[in-house]
Structure 1
Amino acid sequence: MNNKLKGWKTCFLSLAGRTMLVKSVLDSIPTYAMQCNILPQSTHSHIDRIQRNFLWGTTPDRRKLHLANWDLVTTPIKDGGLGIQKTSGKNFALLAR
C-alpha cells in the first residue's frame, strides 16, 4: 500500500479525489488476503491508519488535522459518512461469504 502512495501527491488531489482513491485502490489491495485469512487486529489498525492518513493528507514529515472522526468517515453515504469500509468488518464479511 505504501508503494502505491509514493506516486500519489496528496497536495494535488481534492478530498473527493483522495476519497475515491481510498475506496477504489487502497481498499481493494488487501481483499485477496482477507478472503482466506483472519488478519490480526494490529494489521487492521495499520491498514486503517494508512487509509486515514492518506485521506486527510498526513505525511511522515507533516501532520495534518483530521477533520472528522474515523467512525463517522466509515459510515455509509446514506447515513452521512464517506462510505469507506473498516478493514475489520470487511474481513469478517469476506470470510462469512
Structure 2
Amino acid sequence: MPKSRIRKKDDYTPPPAKKATKIDLSQGGRRWPAPVMLALFGIGLVWIVAFYISSGDFPVGSLGNWNIVVGFGFIAAGFVVSTQWK
C-alpha cells in the first residue's frame, strides 16, 4: 500500500500582543460625591451617637427609637452617593 502524505502543521504563532489602552484622566471625575458621602456618613453617625448619649431625648425626642432609623438612613444615603464617585 502506498504511504499517505504527511501534512506538516504550521508552527504556533501567538496572536499579536494588544497594546494597553490609554486612559484619559485629564478631565477628572466628579468632585462632589466624596465630600457629600463623608458628610452623610458623619451626620448619620453623630445622629445615632447623640441619640444614645442623650438617652433618647436628642436629636428629635418625639421620634423615639426611630432616631436610629433616621441615622442609618443618612448612612445608607452616603452609600447611595458613593456609587456616583468616579
TM-score (norm 1): 0.29
Greater helix fraction, Structure 1 or Structure 2? 1
Structure ID, larger Rg: 2
